[in-house]
Amino acid sequence: MIMISKKMIKTGVMSMIKRCFLLTVMILFIITAGGSAMAHNELSGGEYFTLVDENNNVILLTGMMVNKGDEYISADNSRYRVVDIAGHTARCVYQGKEKMPVIDDSPRSNALGYSGTRLAPVAAKKKTTVAIYHTHSDESYVPSDGAESVNGKGGIYDVGQALSNRLQQLGFNVQYNHNNHNPHDVNAYSRSRKTAAGLLKQRPDVILDVHRDAVPAEQYRTQVKGTEATKVKLVVGNQNPNMKTNLEFAKRMKAAMDKKTPGLSNGIFIGKGDYNQDLSPRAMLIEVGAHTNKKSDATQGVALFADTLPAVMGINTINANNAPAAKPLSTQNQGAGTTILIILVVVAAAAGGFYLLNRGSTSK
């Protein structure tokens, strides 16, 4: 009979605890470091995903990577959920009509924030600030720039400049960062994160990451009040603690577009990833047209988008120069609180693991 001493059992148990602890740390690192990067993959070579409903009706074309569980709120506020993917076709199930916020032109109504929380005014002479940057710096428009991608600053910077110019005309303060984040790969969002974090030190009220899509031109071509333009699609990442607040903000943006500039919105795509939106509940990724659209139409579309932001932020265009920079009382720190809680749990687990390891090594 083989006799197993208590010391041998204890040594084996402690060895197993050590291995489990190290494995847990490795899994946490992989999830936090690699998960979002994989979600930020995009199709190349002119390929794109087609989202279809139960009757095979096309509801969206997108150059972004699509995964099961992704959602889309269409131009008519129908909400769909991706349930199956075959090749580049994503089959969706109708979830019902999305309840959208009501945009009212009266100052009193606009004093309500995107979450229904009354906004707290700050210094009366402080302008509302919008920060702008481009994660995919190479993005361009083939009919105008001659290529879909430019090694350096692509045509998307002209679209960003048009947005900045129009916002300043409306009385907004604009922080436009021209940093280049090439190459256009899965690590682009990691590089642009430093830019976004730097912009947030200026305490902007809104931060916009401006992109263009990669689909046929018809997906974005539109006329708004008789003017040729491209549509604007909003993108919300579902892998960040601010997701619910970011989505409410996107819904308010869409509602303002639907009221002020009918035909401008190309809906809201809710996809796997964070798109650096965990940094702020008012961070938004916008796609202005596609590489197949004319850049002049994209600049027109983004200027029309700018025209809706006073209503989104609850300010009057006439008084934009001295309007309060509205901030919600209860939701601004939602993401920060959740992130801190996660960190505390991980630290507690690590402390417990080290305690067990220490106790095992000192016990006789």
Side-chain-side CA neighbours of 229 within 13 Å: the count stands at 23
In Å, how far are 98, 161, 256, 257, 354 from 311, measured between CA atoms?
A: 20, 21, 6, 9, 53
Looking at residue 152, its pLDDT comes to 85
pLDDT at res. 145: 97
pTM of this structure:
0.76
Task: Please give the Cα distance from 218 to 262 (Å, whole number).
Answer: 17
Q: State which residues of the chain have pLDDT below 50.
A: 1, 24-39, 108-124, 318-343, 347, 354, 361-364
Where would I find the beta strands (DSSP E) of 87-231?
A: 89-97, 119-120, 129-133, 173-176, 206-213, 221-224, 227-230
**For 171-187, what is each residue's pLDDT tens digit?**
999 999 999 998 888 88
Q: What was the pLDDT predicted at 242?
A: 86
**CA 143/CA 218 separation, integer angstroms:** 14
The reported pLDDT for the residue numbered 234 is 99
pLDDT at 126: 76
